Structure 1
Amino acid sequence: MLKKEDFEPYMGTQEEIPGVQPENPAQSEHFGDFIVKYMQNVKNTMELFPGTVFQEINEIFGILYVPLENMGEMEVTGTSYNSIPKCYTYMDMEAAGASGVTRLHDHPYLKLRGRGTAVAVIDSGIDYQNPVFRNAGGTRIEYLWDQLLEGDENSRAEVPYGRLFRKKDIDRALEEEEPLRIVPSEDTNGHGTALAGIAAGNQVLEENFTGAAPEASLIIIKVKQAKQYLRNFYLYPPDAEVFQENDLMMAVAFAMKWARELGMPLSICLGIGSSQGAHLGKNALSQYVDYVANFSQVSVSVAAGNEGNTRNHSTGFFSQGRGRITTELRIAEKEQGFTLEFWGEPPEIYQISIQSPTGESLDVSSSLGARTQELSFVFVETKVYVNYILIERQTGYSLVYLRFFHPAAGIWKIFTEARNRQNVQFHMWLPVESLISQDTYFLEPSPYTTVTAPGDAGNSITATAYQHKDGSLYIAAGRGYTPSGMVTPHLAAPGVNVKAPLMRGAFGVRSGTSIAAAQMSGIAALLFEWAIIRNNQPFFTGSSVKYYLQRGARREENMQYPNPEWGYGRVDLYHTFELLT
């Protein structure tokens, strides 16, 4: 028999990561992280939890680092849901010609290559020794912030945690026989290297490869892995590579700061995503992306996610005469645990019950407030912890947050009733594919409303992926729209079997919407070069970039645009310039 502690979320701390300063709360496993806005009473919160440290992100957002020993057990409530950092992971696992990029590289008048612009890649780091990131003047990497490394004296004055390397440090390292002795930052899986290469790698004729903006300067942020207490809370597999929302927000703020230092317009690439949240652009990272993309000279390109065919999303519509909907969920053998989020449109009040594979059914109370309910099944050794939030404060939607501990394999049923018989819709999302077994899925899924955050941000350039050789949509690509009807994805870019630089100077092919986002970020840099560096449109914003690209996108004659699969069509920067003339 399983013991009670088998079902309880483990809230203990882990040993410190080797080489990381234990006193830095951003890196320490002894602190929990909470995202706050300044209009909240931060001072009172800090007094409530002794030892709390506050870190500013920008003039709106900040982070509270609270000692775990003072936090108590974490709960999802109406006020805490958006403060607990969500976790994000990677969105993938001859293209430049299809996007009209190479024609502009070689155009006799334009010759756009990204010179004078900065491309920031926020991901797993970079193989800075790769020749595709060097030119005659040395490395094209102006700044490299590794959030994981222990800070040195120079870094502590410039970054809140981790270690900062500048171009001069990387150039000095490249002259050594052992470069990692000088700059010990590595890309351990090659994902960030591939994105940086596709966005802004040098032209390599013998490989028939070029990045979209091969003369742009690079700002690289290697994001540290999520803390153990969050992994435990979200029930992620032990080996999952996931990043905390607040670390990603800090990375965006860093990129903006140092692009201003360089005096360059900035194109940011975010090839990560999460299915957490209502998919309404209300996650903290999505709100922050919205905010920064409204700045002059800043663009943010985001992956649409690869959840279109994972069967991890289900939806239901209530109308008069239909008072109950059954959602069937298949749970895989040996599934250790997972979260499920139910989001229901207002003003309805939803009654939910859960039935195990043995037929035992338990009700979720809608009248207990947000405190955690424990559903204990008798005939299967499974517990489900539930938080029912009648009005989630960021969205106004009803949120039912479920955590399944040691769920029995088989077909589970979730019964949803509409108390007031309103014409409303609800959605359920499982975690993204890499964070849950592929054999756990909804039996009647919907491929729509599967664009991951922050691809639901209104001012981002959310990129879906297509096969540039035959023009077909990438089978796994996330599809729109948002539940509120906002158009996303915005544009399609090549993202299937795209050539990319790999580790140690090799080349290979990669697929996924993060590949499309990387190319989009390089394309945005080319537009910034034309608009700002050449003084054609000196107040160009990220939204301007998106609107110009939407106008010039290629569209099929027999298809209505925008649409949930392709957005406004296939990006074609050359066609954008054709329209301008």
Structure 2
Amino acid sequence: MGNLQYQQAGERDCANAAIDENYQNYLIDYLLDGGSFLENYPDLCLDPVGYNQAIAYMYQPGDFTGEREDIDYNKVPRVYGLMDSRELEAAGVTRVRLSPQLGLRGQGTLVGIIDTGVDLTSSFFRYEDGGTKIAAYWDQEDQEGKKPAGYSFGREWDREEIDRALEEEPRILPRDENGHGTFLAAVAAGREDEEAGFSGAAPDSELVVVKLKRPKQYLLDFYSIRDDVWACQEDDVMLAIRYVLDTATALQRPVSICLGIGTNLGGHGGNGSLERYISQISLLPGISVHIASGNEGISGHHFRGNVPQDQEFETVEFNVADGENGFIMELWGDAPVNFSVGLISPGGENVERIQLKRNEFRNIRFFPENTVLQIRSFAGETVGGEQVIRMNFRSPSAGLWRLQVYARGTGNRTFNLWMPITNFLREETFFVSPEASDTLTSPGDAFYGITYVPYEVNTESLYVRASQGYTRDGRVKPDLAAPGVNVHIPAPTAVRRPEQDGAQESGGSRREVSRSGSSVAAAFGAGIGALMQEWAIVKENDLSLNGQNMRFYLIQGAVRSGAYEYPNREWGYGIVNLYDAFLSMRR
């Protein structure tokens, strides 16, 4: 879909721009930005992603503050975290497997796992002869070895290289230090283990894996992400999706992609760079994207307010935990109303109404506290034309803060405030009077992605931390509920080939690993997507099946409890059931 364009900047070479900390990354939309941005910076290194979008690498050593006027809101990559918190009958998968007419197991399909990596030695991902079921593996972190064709960083492992390493030297294979990606891959497409009573949703589907690299340091500093927290950056995720699609195209197979990551930042209306990219590819036959909805329902990180016409401002109280390094808070409002803010610190210092001109950036220091507020207003510069006020709190004082939100003009004076996701904040940082609705994380707000909320199968109750819809523009999300609470898999075990020392898999009871969260529900969804693609594409029942069509069929077959009206903010259109989705096609 396009290789890195090596545009030279003096003696500098673009070959390592994607990983070089002296280059800062920006997301470019050819239609929205036109040629002006590129004309102003002819020395950019440019990597086209596809569908009018590209990643620009600009040589800019030093810190990033977001103050430059030509760097609008959409150009700065967001940072994502994992959507988990540290079953097949209910989803209709078992009946689809056992049905003589269907008998689906994912044969001839691919599942894309874009996450923390996968444990390649695990028995979940190896055939009886010890060979791997991984079709391709891109380790973005490893800069040694063969790069994927058309990509400027990371190391690619093909099937033959993985098999050779498994047989001769497994220690050189990439690892999944976190375990999250391994868990999702097992739920979606892990091989059946009758002894342990486990099977992934699509056990015969093969995997394309991308291990996402850690964000560049300037972005970690800008978003105040702690060193001990896993994170990835938006443009790397977009490249990972492109890699999965490239692999699927080369192998001529349909692919079902799982995204178990998310962020609270953004407009929550499907207009971010990653969300638009997902929506565009989801309209292509043989591609579906299954997305976590988030675990932010009770986190206290969303506030919705309204400034009455006869009132000057509304006060929003939020608490900052002791030891909080920093965070970004965003205010989103709709034109033609113009919003501005004032602040009162825990120590009582009052920063009165900060009226920012278009693209104006201010650096405000609170005394005697050591807090620095970097604030900028983006008016009409987002894809949706909204106003965004980005408030970057650096070394914020612990205690109760009061944000005064002012509104000027007639129209919709409702505003939304979001803090980062739970993984990126300390527990005691929250809004005092939060709103649980509209806590869906991005990219779960993508128009044509399929977004899942986790529920507990035995009690048919939602996960207590589950995010709620809708999107900020009123669309129904999440789409469906899928198993995602206390999901257990056998602890991954390494398998050696039968000819290696005559070794056998250890017997006895197996330790289990359990996880909860919307990423687990998305993994179930990705496996279900692979089964539907086997029926439609591999078996040639519907060669035009794309992500949007799949979403429609799964919604039609969803199980809806009589206790609720559907769709709703909590359950979307109901509990996913693949067997009922197939039945609905015959009606």
Q: Same fold, TM exceeding 0.5? A: yes
For the structure 1 residues 179 and 72, does the alpha-carbon distance in structure 2 shift closer, same or farther, using more than 3 Å as the test? closer
Query: Structure 1 pair 513/457, CA: closer, same or farther in 2 (3 Å)?
Result: same
Segment drifting more, 157-166 vs 317-326: 317-326
Does the 8 A contact of 2:51 with 2:280 survive in 1? Answer: no
Whether the aligned pair in 2 keeps the contact of 1:78 and 1:393 (CA below 8 Å) is: no
- Look up the match of 1:25: 17
Match of 1:275 in 2: 264
Task: Output one character per residue of 1:102-161: Cα deviation in whole Å (capped at 9) or x when no partner.
Answer: 121222231110001111000011101111112246211100011111243x43535331
d(CA) in 1 for partners of 2:315 and 2:304?
Answer: 10
Out of 323, 327, 340, the residue aligned to residue 334 of structure 1 is 323
Q: Which residue of 2 aligns with 1:119?
A: 111
Structure 1 distance, partners of 2:411, 2:469, is 24
Deviations 1:410-469 (A, max 9, x none): 111111122225333100000000111110100000111111000000100000000111
397-406 or 459-468, which moves further after superposition? 397-406
- Partner residue, 2:498: none
Give, in whole Å, the separation in 2 of the partners of 1:564 and 1:329. Answer: 25
Given the alignment of the two structures, is residue 577 of structure 1 paired with residue 582 of structure 2, yes or no?
Answer: yes
Q: Secondary structure in 1 aligned to 2:72?
A: coil
Per the alignment, do residues 41 and 354 of structure 1 end up closer, same or farther by CA in structure 2, a change over 3 Å counting? Answer: closer
Question: Which of the residues 476, 481, 484 maps onto 2:470?
Answer: 481
Measured after TM superposition, the shift of residue 398 of structure 1 is 1.4
- What's the CA shift string for 1:465-495, capped at 9, x where partnerless? 0011100000111110011101110000000
In 1, Cα distance between equivalents of 2:269 and 2:139: 31
Question: Which residue of structure 2 lines up, in the alignment, with residue 230 of structure 1?
Answer: 219
Instruction: Return closer, same or farther for 1:40/1:565 CA change in 2, 3 Å cut-off.
Output: closer
Residue among 118, 129, 136 paired with 1:143: 136
The letter for the 2-side match of 1:452 is T
Correspondence list, 1:449-464, <5 A: 449-464=438-453
Residues in 2 aligned to 1:486 and 1:272: alpha-carbon distance in whole angstroms? 21
Cα distance change of structure 1 residues 69 and 311 upon mapping to structure 2, 3 Å threshold: same
Give a deviation string over 1:347-378, Cα, whole Å, max 9, x none. 11123111112332213433433222122223
Other-structure match for 2:170: 179
Structure 1 CA distance for aligned equivalents of residues 441 and 323 of structure 2? 27
- Code of the aligned partner of 2:523: A
Letter in 1 for 2:224: L
User: SS of the counterpart of 1:251?
Assistant: helix
Distance 1:340 1:575, change over 3 A: same
Gaps of 5+ in 2: 1-12, 495-510
- Within the candidate set 171, 177, 181, 1:188 is matched to 177
Question: What does residue 203 of structure 1 align with?
Answer: 192
Equivalent in the alignment of 2:357: 368
Query: Structure 1 residue 240: deviation in Å?
Result: 2.1
Aligned match of 1:8: none
Mapped pair 1:107 → 2:99: yes
Change in Cα spacing, 1:28 to 1:248, as seen in structure 2 (3 Å) is same
Local SS of the residue matching 1:142: strand
> What RMSD in Å do the two structures reach over aligned CA positions?
2.1
Q: 2:521 aligns with which of 504, 510, 516?
A: 516
In structure 2, distance between residues paired with 1:40 and 1:109 = 49
Aligned to 1:292: 281
Which amino acid in 2 is paired with 1:150?
Q
How many residue pairs were aligned?
556
**Structure 1's 228 and 70: CA in aligned 2 closer, same or farther, altered over 3 A?**
closer
For 1:395-474, what aligned pairs fall within 5 Å after superposition? 395-474=384-463
Q: Give the distance between the partners of 2:490 and 2:16, measured in 1 at CA.
A: 34
Describe the shift of the 1:102–1:243 C-alpha distance in structure 2 as closer, same or farther (beyond 3 A). Answer: same
Deviates further, 555-564 or 456-465: 555-564
Do 2:371 and 2:396's aligned partners in 1 also have CA atoms closer than 8 Å? yes
Q: How does 1:490-569 map to 2 (within 5 A)?
A: 490-500=479-489, 502-505=491-494, 507-569=512-574
Residue type at the aligned position of 1:511: S
Tell me the secondary structure at the aligned position of residue 54 of structure 2. Answer: strand
Q: Distance in 2 between matches of 1:501 and 1:160?
A: 37
Relative distance call for 1:501 and 1:191 in structure 2 (3 A) is farther
Distance 1:76 1:526 in 2: 48
CA deviation after TM superposition for structure 1 residue 42, in Å: 7.9
Measure, in 1, the Cα distance between the counterparts of 2:339 and 2:229.
33
Q: Which of 367, 374, 387 is equivalent to 1:385? A: 374
Decide whether aligned partners of structure 1 residues 364 and 206 sit closer, same or farther in structure 2, where only a CA change above 3 A counts.
Answer: farther
Aligned 8 A contact 1:342 1:401 in 2: yes
Q: CA deviation at 1:396?
A: 1.6
Residue type of the partner of 1:54? Answer: L
TM score, norm. by length of structure 1: 0.92
1:67 paired to 2:59? yes
- Is contact 1:144-1:220 (8 Å) kept? yes
Q: 143, 155, 160: which is aligned to 1:168?
A: 160
Conserved? CA contact 1:306–1:476, under 8 Å: yes
Distance in 1, matches of 2:583 and 2:363, equals 61
Identity across matched positions, percent: 37
Aligned to 1:14: none
Deviates more, 1:167-176 or 1:496-505: 496-505
Amino acid of the structure 2 residue aligned with 1:497: N
State the Cα distance separating 1:298 from its structure 2 match.
0.4
Deviations 1:256-294 (A, max 9, x none): 111011111110000000111111111110110111111
Q: 1:264, 1:501 → 2: CA distance? A: 29
In terms of mean alpha carbon deviation, does 504-513 or 274-283 score higher? 504-513
Query: Does 392-401 or 70-79 show the bigger shift?
Result: 70-79
Amino acid across the alignment from 1:275: N
**Residue ranges of structure 1 left out of the alignment (5+ in a row):** 1-20
Under a length normalisation based on structure 2, what TM-score does the superposition of the two structures give? 0.91
Aligned pair in 2 of structure 1 residues 535, 72: CA closer, same or farther (>3 Å)?
closer
Give the AA of the match of 1:145.
Answer: W
* Mean Cα deviation higher: 318-327 or 343-352: 318-327
Give 1:322 deviation, angstroms.
4.4
Amino acid in structure 2 at the alignment position of 1:180: R
Query: Partners of 1:372 and 1:240 in 2: how far apart?
Result: 29
Q: Secondary structure at the match of 1:464?
A: strand
The answer (yes or no) to whether the contact 1:197–1:501 under 8 Å persists in 2 is no
In structure 1, distance between residues paired with 2:399 and 2:378:
28
Q: CA offset at residue 567 of structure 1?
A: 0.3
Structure 2 CA distance for aligned equivalents of residues 71 and 51 of structure 1: 20
Alpha-carbon separation, structure 1, partners of 2:237 and 2:461 = 32
Higher mean displacement: 394-403 or 488-497: 394-403
- Residue 49 of structure 2 corresponds to 57
Native 8 Å contact 1:319 1:422 kept in 2: no
2:8 aligns with none
